[in-house]
Amino acid sequence: MKLLDRPIYTNRVIPFIDKQVIKVLIGQRRVGKSYVMLQLMNHIKNANKDANIVYINMELDDYAHIKSHIELSAYLADQFIEGKSNYLFIDEVQEIHEFERTLRSLFAKGTCDIYCTGSNAKMLSGELATFLSGRYIVFHIHSLSYLEFLQFHQLEKSLDSLLLYLKYGGMPFLPNIGLKEDLPYEYLRNVYSTILLKDVVARENIRNISFLENLVTYLADNTGSLFSAANISKYLKSQKVDISTQLTINYLKALSNTFFIHKAVRSEIGGLKIFEIGEKYYFEDLGLRNAIVGFNQRADIHKLMENAVYLYLRQQNYQVFVGKLDDKEIDFVADKNGKKVYVQVCLTAMDENTANREFGNLLKIEDNYPKYVVTLNDIFIGENNGGVIQKNLVDFLTLEL
């Protein structure tokens, strides 16, 4: 299988090669963390022909005997070569019980340069934070951006290729299947089942699987809607399903821990206040969302546009919030080291009322950071007073923000 470069991620990690810090690549299962890791290994080999690279992939049967830090330490005992530059790569490290004990020992001794991938956020707040606090740096790997989608599928930038991206999403393996008929959805449904059963149910000890599946369907139907766990519980009770608010919160957290969904909380523009009630949820991959509830272009296009913009901002390494300005809502407030971008998403800005609302909300923000109205139509309205810029989605997803 051809290994296509993903420089947006490798370029973030390369400056930390041979630095005394553990490199942790996180992200949803099957988004390509392993291939980014392999590209880093190739980079190291090209730079240092004598490098000794030890690679453990916990998804392969070859390493099934490594169940805990004890077996991991035993396996590594004779893998490193004295006098050489040693590198350790572990794929899906969370599958090894108390792996952090071995990593801490290796790190303390300076035995090797350490890289690992993981598909669960709990290891950041639990295993790594407890034993390796201050000794690791995290890189979030996402499914393919629209530009990467074009490269992987050998397509040209166009409305047609954008609609394919919104329909099938950016899982990196799809080019091996093709984007014809329902073949991609067969693969995507299998990925969804694996994530749900292996990463959510098994790791989080979920008991009410039926409710978990219904919750995912609800999130897919309401992608980008503002709601709370309490409102979900109320809705379910109206459907004769009696589920507590706390259980809903727990299950939402479990889904978020696998990076399958992302929570965007509301933040006050110009202030520091984060609102605890009301948030939006977006899917890591559009194709997985569509595999769950189907692809209905006419009914769901705005939801998919909004999800695509959210993902692109995250892929560009921004933190993303839902903005609140008095009684107005800004779809996205993105922040990267103090640099901000504001984005409103709508199907079209040709309707005068819609244009006044979307442009008007942004014009009320009193700073000079970039402000965009993103639409699906190709008719350019231009810059409104205050420098609000309209971009169609095809062009916005190819900007370097």
Rounded distance, CA 174 to CA 169, Å? 9
Other CB atoms within a 10 A radius of the CB of residue 241 amount to 12
Mean pLDDT over 60-70 rounds to: 97
Predicted pLDDT at 379: 61
Provide the pLDDT for residue 97. Answer: 94
- Look at residue 26 in the predicted model and tell me its pLDDT: 96
Res. 356 pLDDT band, cuts 50 70 90: confident
Residue 242: predicted pLDDT: 81
Give the pLDDT score at 383: 55
In terms of DSSP H, where are the helices of 328-370? 352-363
pLDDT, tens digit (0-9, with 9 covering 90-100), for 290-300: 999 999 999 99
Mean pLDDT (the chain) is 92
At 391 the pLDDT is 93
- With a CB cutoff of 8 Å and minimum separation 6, the contacts of 27 are 33, 117, 119, 140, 141, 142, 259, 284
d(CA 331, CA 310): 9
Predicted pLDDT of residue 276: 67
| Over residues 351-375, mean pLDDT | 89
Q: What CA–CA distance (Å, rounded) separates 108 from 119?
A: 25
pLDDT classification of 357: cutoffs 50, 70, 90: confident
d(CA 233, CA 124) in angstroms, rounded, equals 29
Domains along the chain?
A: 7-140 (3.40.50.300), 146-396 (no CATH)
Confidence check: pLDDT of 73 > 90: yes
Residue 385 has pLDDT above 60, yes or no: no
- How would you classify the pairing of strands 22-26 and 113-118? parallel
Cα–Cα distance, 5 to 50 (Å, whole number): 23
Strand partners, 333: 321, 342
pLDDT of residue 123: 80
pLDDT of residue 292: 96
For position 207, what pLDDT does the model report? 92
Distance CA 54, CA 87 (A): 6
Instruction: Report the DSSP beta bridge partners of residue 115.
Output: 23, 89
Please report where in the chains the tokens 């299988």 appear, as a residue.
1
- pLDDT tens digits, 18-56: 999 999 999 999 999 999 999 999 999 999 999 999 999
Buried b (16+ CB within 10 A) or exposed e, 324-341: bbeeeebbbbbeeeeebb
The whole-number pLDDT of residue 156 equals 98
For residue range 117-166, what is the model confidence (pLDDT) as tens digits? 999 888 877 778 888 888 999 999 999 999 999 999 999 999 999 999 99
Percent of the chain scored above 90 by pLDDT?
78
Residues 67-89, mean pLDDT to the nearest whole number: 97
Q: What is the pLDDT of residue 236?
A: 77
pLDDT tens digit sequence for 262-315? 999 999 997 767 776 789 999 999 999 999 999 999 999 999 999 999 999 999
Q: In 3D, which of 238, 264, 384 has the Cα closest to residue 324? A: 264
By mean pLDDT, which of 33-47, 84-98, 233-247 is the weakest?
233-247
